[in-house]
């Protein structure tokens, strides 16, 4: 099974996780409180590996121009439906987050949640992502080292970003809809 097929198969149930679907108002508010203060007004945002588009829609509702990219067409279709239901416009595209199909220096913010750790060459992907940023742009990563042993520690992610980053642990159960016992964090780097 390819990676695309795997995510296509999980698209219908992806939003069942509280932090994926943001259906619980408390979880949705926690993500809004975390991300919205970071994003400059009326910013152009690339949401790479956007899944079903929950963060893309959250940002679009706040007035940002958002472009979501996901490898899975089923995820992208779910994201399109979610944006339509919310009454916002988001440009959702199917493609590889490691090689985004966008012009260099075209975004104020590049956001990726739980994506970097899963890529075959995280350093090369980060190089691509940073190239998408306008001068002074923000790289915003939500990553972790999961209880399964997969993922990236905050130290590993900071090293990949060349140490120029602010890392904040994400231990508040409101973000996840449950208590967590693994390492989850927000990494923000201004370029």
Nearest-angstrom CA–CA distance, 125 and 105: 15
Topology (CATH) of 3-8+18-64+74-142+158-190: Rossmann fold (3.40.50)
138 pLDDT exceeds 80? Answer: yes
- What residue ranges do the domains of the chain occupy? 3-8+18-64+74-142+158-190
68-121 confidence digits (pLDDT tens): 999 999 999 999 999 999 999 999 999 999 999 999 999 999 999 999 999 999
* CA pair distance 27, 12, nearest whole angstrom: 20
Dump pLDDT digits (tens) for 25-38.
Answer: 999 999 999 999 99
pLDDT at 163 exceeding the cut of 80? no
The two structure tokens encoding residue 66: 């958002």
**Which whole number is the average pLDDT over 168-191?**
96
* Average per-residue pLDDT for the chain: 96
The pTM is what? 0.96
C-alpha span between 156 and 149 (Å, rounded):
14
Alpha carbon separation from 98 to 115, 119, 123 (Å, rounded): 9, 7, 10
Unique residue bearing structure tokens 């239901």? 85
Task: Give the pLDDT band (50/70/90) at residue 41.
Answer: very high
- 87 φ/ψ sector (left φ>0, alpha ψ -120 to 50, else beta): left
Q: From residue 177, how far is each of 20, 120, 140 by CA, in Å?
A: 10, 29, 21
Per-residue model confidence (pLDDT) at position 117: 93
């Amino acid at each position: 099974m390819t990676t695309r097929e795997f995510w296509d198969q999980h698209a219908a149930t992806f939003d069942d996780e509280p932090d994926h679907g943001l259906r619980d108002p408390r979880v949705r508010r926690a993500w809004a409180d975390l991300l919205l203060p970071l994003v400059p007004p009326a910013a152009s945002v690339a949401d790479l590996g956007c899944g079903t588009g929950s963060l893309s829609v959250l940002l679009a509702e706040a007035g940002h121009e958002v472009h979501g990219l996901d490898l899975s067409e089923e995820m992208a279709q779910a994201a399109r439906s979610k944006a339509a239901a919310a009454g916002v416009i988001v440009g959702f595209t199917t493609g590889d987050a490691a090689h985004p199909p966008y012009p260099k220096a075209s975004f104020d913010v590049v956001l990726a949640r739980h994506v970097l750790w899963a890529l075959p060459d995280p350093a090369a992907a980060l190089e691509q992502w940073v190239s998408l940023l306008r001068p002074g742009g923000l790289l915003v990563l939500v990553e972790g080292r999961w209880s399964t042993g997969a993922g990236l520690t905050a130290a590993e992610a900071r090293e990949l970003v060349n140490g120029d980053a602010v890392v904040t642990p994400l231990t508040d159960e409101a973000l996840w809809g449950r208590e967590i016992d693994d390492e989850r964090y927000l990494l923000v780097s201004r370029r």
